[in-house]
Amino acid sequence: MVTFDVVTIFPAMVEAGLAEGVVGRARARGLLDIAVHDLRGFTTDRHHVVDDVAFGGGPGMVMKAEPFYVAVETIRQRRGGPVRVVLTSPAGRRFDQAAAEAMAQDDGVLWLCGRYEGVDERVVDAVGAEEWSVGDYVVSGGELPALVMIDAIARLVPGVVGDERSVENDSFSAGGLDYPHYTRPALWRDRAVPEVLLSGHHAAIEQWRRERAAERTRARRPDLVVGASGRGKGKGEER
Ligand code: SAH
Protein backbone atom coordinates (compact mmCIF):
# COMPACT_ATOMS: atom_id res chain seq x y z
CA MET A 1 0.00 0.00 0.00
CA VAL A 2 1.20 3.49 -0.83
CA THR A 3 2.41 5.52 2.18
CA PHE A 4 2.25 9.30 2.31
CA ASP A 5 4.74 11.65 4.00
CA VAL A 6 4.65 15.44 4.00
CA VAL A 7 7.49 17.74 5.07
CA THR A 8 6.35 21.28 5.87
CA ILE A 9 6.89 24.23 8.20
CA PHE A 10 3.11 24.24 8.77
CA PRO A 11 2.24 20.69 9.89
CA ALA A 12 -1.01 21.86 11.54
CA MET A 13 -2.24 23.23 8.22
CA VAL A 14 -1.65 19.88 6.51
CA GLU A 15 -3.14 17.89 9.41
CA ALA A 16 -6.25 20.07 9.25
CA GLY A 17 -6.64 19.28 5.57
CA LEU A 18 -6.41 15.56 6.25
CA ALA A 19 -8.73 15.45 9.25
CA GLU A 20 -12.18 15.40 7.63
CA GLY A 21 -14.23 13.85 4.91
CA VAL A 22 -13.22 10.86 2.82
CA VAL A 23 -9.51 11.11 3.65
CA GLY A 24 -10.09 11.74 7.37
CA ARG A 25 -12.37 8.71 7.67
CA ALA A 26 -10.02 6.45 5.72
CA ARG A 27 -7.12 7.54 7.88
CA ALA A 28 -9.07 6.84 11.07
CA ARG A 29 -9.91 3.37 9.75
CA GLY A 30 -6.24 2.64 9.05
CA LEU A 31 -6.68 2.52 5.26
CA LEU A 32 -4.18 5.32 4.71
CA ASP A 33 -0.74 5.65 6.26
CA ILE A 34 -0.01 9.39 6.29
CA ALA A 35 2.68 11.10 8.36
CA VAL A 36 3.16 14.87 8.54
CA HIS A 37 6.64 16.09 9.53
CA ASP A 38 7.75 19.50 10.80
CA LEU A 39 10.71 20.62 8.68
CA ARG A 40 12.13 22.48 11.69
CA GLY A 41 12.55 19.13 13.44
CA PHE A 42 15.29 18.28 10.93
CA THR A 43 17.41 21.37 11.69
CA THR A 44 20.34 21.28 14.12
CA ASP A 45 20.78 24.97 14.99
CA ARG A 46 19.25 26.56 18.07
CA HIS A 47 16.77 28.70 16.19
CA HIS A 48 15.65 25.99 13.73
CA VAL A 49 16.31 28.22 10.74
CA VAL A 50 14.89 26.91 7.44
CA ASP A 51 15.42 29.90 5.14
CA ASP A 52 18.10 32.36 4.10
CA VAL A 53 18.71 35.22 1.66
CA ALA A 54 19.04 34.49 -2.05
CA PHE A 55 22.45 34.32 -3.69
CA GLY A 56 22.50 36.93 -6.42
CA GLY A 57 20.18 39.19 -4.47
CA GLY A 58 16.54 39.99 -5.13
CA PRO A 59 13.47 39.99 -2.94
CA GLY A 60 12.36 37.22 -0.62
CA MET A 61 13.92 34.30 1.19
CA VAL A 62 14.90 30.86 -0.11
CA MET A 63 14.44 27.59 1.78
CA LYS A 64 17.71 25.99 2.77
CA ALA A 65 18.72 22.65 1.29
CA GLU A 66 20.04 20.80 4.33
CA PRO A 67 16.83 20.47 6.43
CA PHE A 68 14.96 18.99 3.43
CA TYR A 69 17.87 16.65 2.72
CA VAL A 70 17.99 15.37 6.32
CA ALA A 71 14.19 15.01 6.31
CA VAL A 72 14.23 12.86 3.17
CA GLU A 73 17.10 10.69 4.43
CA THR A 74 15.41 10.18 7.81
CA ILE A 75 11.98 9.38 6.37
CA ARG A 76 13.37 7.04 3.70
CA GLN A 77 15.23 5.16 6.42
CA ARG A 78 12.14 5.01 8.63
CA ARG A 79 9.96 3.74 5.79
CA GLY A 80 12.61 1.14 4.94
CA GLY A 81 11.56 0.96 1.30
CA PRO A 82 11.54 2.98 -1.89
CA VAL A 83 9.93 6.38 -1.44
CA ARG A 84 9.28 8.69 -4.37
CA VAL A 85 10.03 12.32 -3.50
CA VAL A 86 7.79 15.04 -4.93
CA LEU A 87 8.82 18.67 -4.71
CA THR A 88 5.77 20.89 -5.08
CA SER A 89 6.61 23.60 -7.62
CA PRO A 90 4.85 25.75 -10.23
CA ALA A 91 7.77 24.77 -12.49
CA GLY A 92 6.91 21.08 -12.19
CA ARG A 93 4.96 18.80 -14.47
CA ARG A 94 1.19 19.38 -14.30
CA PHE A 95 -0.46 16.87 -11.93
CA ASP A 96 -3.47 15.01 -13.36
CA GLN A 97 -5.59 11.89 -12.88
CA ALA A 98 -3.07 9.70 -14.71
CA ALA A 99 -0.32 10.89 -12.36
CA ALA A 100 -2.59 10.16 -9.38
CA GLU A 101 -3.23 6.66 -10.71
CA ALA A 102 0.49 6.01 -11.13
CA MET A 103 1.32 7.31 -7.64
CA ALA A 104 -1.45 5.21 -6.09
CA GLN A 105 0.50 2.16 -7.31
CA ASP A 106 3.71 3.34 -5.63
CA ASP A 107 5.14 2.07 -2.35
CA GLY A 108 5.41 5.56 -0.93
CA VAL A 109 5.35 9.22 -1.88
CA LEU A 110 6.94 12.01 0.13
CA TRP A 111 6.01 15.67 -0.51
CA LEU A 112 8.32 18.59 0.12
CA CYS A 113 6.43 21.85 0.68
CA GLY A 114 8.17 25.02 -0.36
CA ARG A 115 7.45 28.51 1.02
CA TYR A 116 8.81 32.00 0.31
CA GLU A 117 10.54 32.14 -3.11
CA GLY A 118 10.94 28.37 -3.19
CA VAL A 119 13.51 25.73 -2.29
CA ASP A 120 17.27 25.75 -2.97
CA GLU A 121 17.56 24.22 -6.45
CA ARG A 122 20.24 21.71 -5.38
CA VAL A 123 17.68 19.71 -3.35
CA VAL A 124 16.07 18.29 -6.51
CA ASP A 125 19.21 16.51 -7.63
CA ALA A 126 20.48 15.64 -4.15
CA VAL A 127 17.38 13.67 -3.14
CA GLY A 128 16.29 12.60 -6.64
CA ALA A 129 13.03 14.57 -6.43
CA GLU A 130 10.42 14.94 -9.14
CA GLU A 131 8.77 18.34 -9.44
CA TRP A 132 4.99 18.48 -9.73
CA SER A 133 2.65 21.44 -10.09
CA VAL A 134 -1.11 21.63 -9.45
CA GLY A 135 -1.69 24.21 -12.17
CA ASP A 136 -0.53 27.40 -13.81
CA TYR A 137 -0.95 29.73 -10.85
CA VAL A 138 1.13 30.45 -7.77
CA VAL A 139 0.00 29.78 -4.21
CA SER A 140 1.98 30.76 -1.12
CA GLY A 141 3.21 27.31 -0.17
CA GLY A 142 3.34 23.64 -1.11
CA GLU A 143 0.87 22.58 1.58
CA LEU A 144 -2.34 23.05 -0.41
CA PRO A 145 -0.82 21.49 -3.56
CA ALA A 146 0.38 18.50 -1.50
CA LEU A 147 -3.11 18.12 0.00
CA VAL A 148 -4.67 18.22 -3.46
CA MET A 149 -2.37 15.47 -4.73
CA ILE A 150 -2.77 13.33 -1.58
CA ASP A 151 -6.56 13.55 -1.77
CA ALA A 152 -6.62 12.60 -5.45
CA ILE A 153 -4.34 9.60 -4.84
CA ALA A 154 -6.11 8.51 -1.65
CA ARG A 155 -9.46 8.25 -3.50
CA LEU A 156 -7.88 5.57 -5.69
CA VAL A 157 -6.77 3.39 -2.77
CA PRO A 158 -9.25 0.49 -2.53
CA GLY A 159 -11.81 1.00 0.26
CA VAL A 160 -11.18 4.73 0.75
CA VAL A 161 -14.23 5.82 -1.25
CA GLY A 162 -17.18 3.80 0.04
CA ASP A 163 -18.61 2.81 -3.33
CA GLU A 164 -15.86 2.15 -5.85
CA ARG A 165 -18.22 2.86 -8.74
CA SER A 166 -18.21 6.56 -7.83
CA VAL A 167 -14.45 6.69 -8.46
CA GLU A 168 -14.78 4.85 -11.77
CA ASN A 169 -17.42 7.35 -12.90
CA ASP A 170 -15.47 10.42 -11.78
CA SER A 171 -14.29 12.92 -14.35
CA PHE A 172 -10.99 11.93 -16.03
CA SER A 173 -10.98 8.35 -14.70
CA ALA A 174 -12.92 7.16 -17.70
CA GLY A 175 -11.10 9.63 -19.95
CA GLY A 176 -13.60 12.49 -20.06
CA LEU A 177 -15.87 14.56 -17.83
CA ASP A 178 -18.58 13.20 -15.52
CA TYR A 179 -22.31 13.37 -16.35
CA PRO A 180 -24.55 15.92 -14.52
CA HIS A 181 -26.09 14.93 -11.15
CA TYR A 182 -29.49 15.72 -9.62
CA THR A 183 -31.15 15.02 -6.27
CA ARG A 184 -34.58 15.60 -4.71
CA PRO A 185 -36.90 17.45 -5.12
CA ALA A 186 -37.70 16.50 -8.71
CA LEU A 187 -39.17 19.98 -9.29
CA TRP A 188 -37.17 22.76 -7.67
CA ARG A 189 -37.85 26.48 -8.23
CA ASP A 190 -39.61 25.65 -11.51
CA ARG A 191 -36.66 23.61 -12.66
CA ALA A 192 -37.37 19.97 -13.44
CA VAL A 193 -35.00 17.02 -13.34
CA PRO A 194 -34.50 15.39 -16.77
CA GLU A 195 -37.46 13.05 -17.21
CA VAL A 196 -35.42 9.95 -18.03
CA LEU A 197 -33.83 9.95 -14.55
CA LEU A 198 -37.26 9.39 -13.00
CA SER A 199 -38.19 6.60 -15.41
CA GLY A 200 -36.54 3.74 -13.53
CA HIS A 201 -35.39 2.49 -16.92
CA HIS A 202 -31.73 1.66 -16.14
CA ALA A 203 -30.52 1.12 -19.70
CA ALA A 204 -32.06 4.42 -20.84
CA ILE A 205 -30.52 6.23 -17.84
CA GLU A 206 -27.13 4.73 -18.58
CA GLN A 207 -27.35 5.83 -22.18
CA TRP A 208 -28.50 9.34 -21.24
CA ARG A 209 -25.58 9.70 -18.82
CA ARG A 210 -23.05 8.43 -21.36
CA GLU A 211 -24.36 10.89 -23.94
CA ARG A 212 -24.35 13.87 -21.57
CA ALA A 213 -20.81 13.04 -20.43
CA ALA A 214 -19.57 12.76 -24.02
CA GLU A 215 -21.37 15.97 -25.02
CA ARG A 216 -19.86 17.95 -22.13
CA THR A 217 -16.41 16.60 -22.78
CA ARG A 218 -16.60 17.55 -26.47
CA ALA A 219 -17.94 21.04 -25.66
CA ARG A 220 -15.81 21.95 -22.66
CA ARG A 221 -12.68 19.84 -22.92
CA PRO A 222 -12.09 18.79 -26.53
CA ASP A 223 -8.47 18.15 -25.49
CA LEU A 224 -9.69 15.13 -23.49
CA VAL A 225 -11.51 13.50 -26.38
CA VAL A 226 -9.55 10.40 -27.35
CA GLY A 227 -8.28 10.80 -30.86
CA ALA A 228 -8.43 14.62 -30.74
CA SER A 229 -5.03 15.40 -32.30
CA GLY A 230 -3.84 12.22 -30.62
CA ARG A 231 -4.04 13.84 -27.21
CA GLY A 232 -6.91 12.09 -25.47
CA LYS A 233 -5.85 10.47 -22.25
CA GLY A 234 -7.75 7.25 -21.88
CA LYS A 235 -7.41 5.27 -18.69
CA GLY A 236 -4.08 3.47 -18.52
CA GLU A 237 -2.87 5.03 -21.74
CA GLU A 238 0.85 5.78 -22.11
CA ARG A 239 1.77 9.38 -21.40
N1 SAH B 1 8.91 31.88 -6.92
C2 SAH B 1 8.20 30.69 -7.23
C3 SAH B 1 6.90 30.55 -6.42
C4 SAH B 1 7.13 30.25 -4.98
S5 SAH B 1 5.63 29.98 -4.16
C6 SAH B 1 7.85 30.66 -8.70
O7 SAH B 1 7.52 31.70 -9.25
O8 SAH B 1 7.84 29.58 -9.30
C9 SAH B 1 6.18 29.07 -2.76
C10 SAH B 1 6.00 27.57 -2.83
O11 SAH B 1 4.65 27.26 -3.02
C12 SAH B 1 6.73 26.86 -3.93
O13 SAH B 1 8.08 26.62 -3.60
C14 SAH B 1 5.93 25.57 -4.05
O15 SAH B 1 6.34 24.65 -3.06
C16 SAH B 1 4.53 26.03 -3.72
N17 SAH B 1 3.70 26.27 -4.93
C18 SAH B 1 3.24 27.46 -5.37
N19 SAH B 1 2.48 27.32 -6.47
C20 SAH B 1 2.44 25.99 -6.75
C21 SAH B 1 1.84 25.21 -7.77
N22 SAH B 1 1.12 25.75 -8.75
N23 SAH B 1 2.03 23.87 -7.73
C24 SAH B 1 2.77 23.30 -6.77
N25 SAH B 1 3.38 23.98 -5.78
C26 SAH B 1 3.22 25.32 -5.76
pLDDT in tens, 140-178: 999 999 999 999 999 999 999 988 888 988 989 888 999
Question: Is residue 160 a part of any domain in this protein?
Answer: no
CA of 49 to the centre of ligand 1 (A): 20
Q: In this structure, what is the dihedral angle of CA atoms 37, 41, 47, 49, given to the nearest 10 degrees?
A: -60
According to the model, what pLDDT value does residue 229 have?
Answer: 55
According to the model, what pLDDT value does residue 233 have?
Answer: 45
Kindly tell me if the per-residue pLDDT of 236 is higher than 70. Answer: no
Same-domain pairing of 48 and 117: yes
Same-domain pairing of 140 and 189: no
Among 84, 102, 108, CA closest to 235: 102
Q: Residues near ligand 1 with C-beta < 6 Å?
A: 88-91, 113-115, 117-119, 133-135, 137-139, 141-142, 145
Catalytic residue among 76, 90, 131, 218: 90
Question: Is residue 53 a part of any domain in this protein?
Answer: yes
User: What value does the mean pLDDT of the chain take?
Assistant: 94
According to the model, what pLDDT value does residue 174 have?
Answer: 81
Same-domain pairing of 149 and 180: no
The CA angle 88-109-76, to the nearest 5 degrees, is: 110
According to the model, what pLDDT value does residue 175 have?
Answer: 85
According to the model, what pLDDT value does residue 228 have?
Answer: 62
Predicted structure pTM score: 0.94
Question: Is residue 197 a part of any domain in this protein?
Answer: yes
Same-domain pairing of 106 and 176: no
Catalytic residue among 117, 168, 211, 215: 117
Mean of pLDDT values over 208-237: 79
Give the structural domain span for 200.
Answer: 170-220
CA of 134 to the centre of ligand 1 (A): 9
Characterize the bridge pairing of strands 191-192 and 84-94. Answer: unpaired
Same-domain pairing of 185 and 131: no
Same-domain pairing of 137 and 51: yes
Which CATH number do you get for residue 112?
3.40.1280.10
Measured CA distances, 13 to 7, 16, 142 (Å): 12, 5, 11
Report the percentage of the chain scoring pLDDT > 70: 95
Which CATH number do you get for residue 195?
1.10.1270.20
Kindly tell me if the per-residue pLDDT of 238 is higher than 90. Answer: no
Number of structural domains the chain divides into: 2
Q: Is 170 a catalytic residue?
A: yes
CA of 76 to the centre of ligand 1 (A): 24
Mean of pLDDT values over 196-208: 98
User: String of b and e for 94-127 (b: at least 16 CB within 10 Å)?
Assistant: ebebbbbbebbeeebbbbbbbbbebbbeebbeeb
More confident of the two residues 175 and 186: 186
According to the model, what pLDDT value does residue 226 have?
Answer: 78
Of the listed ranges 87-96, 156-165, 192-201, the one predicted with least confidence: 156-165
> Coil, strand or helix: which one is 17?
helix
According to the model, what pLDDT value does residue 168 have?
Answer: 86
Q: In this structure, what is the dihedral angle of CA atoms 177, 183, 189, 194, given to the nearest 10 degrees?
A: 60
Among 93, 116, 124, 138, residue to substitute to test ligand 1 (most atoms within 8 Å of Cβ): 138
Question: Is residue 237 a part of any domain in this protein?
Answer: no
CA of 166 to the centre of ligand 1 (A): 31
According to the model, what pLDDT value does residue 230 have?
Answer: 47
Same-domain pairing of 17 and 131: yes
Same-domain pairing of 205 and 102: no
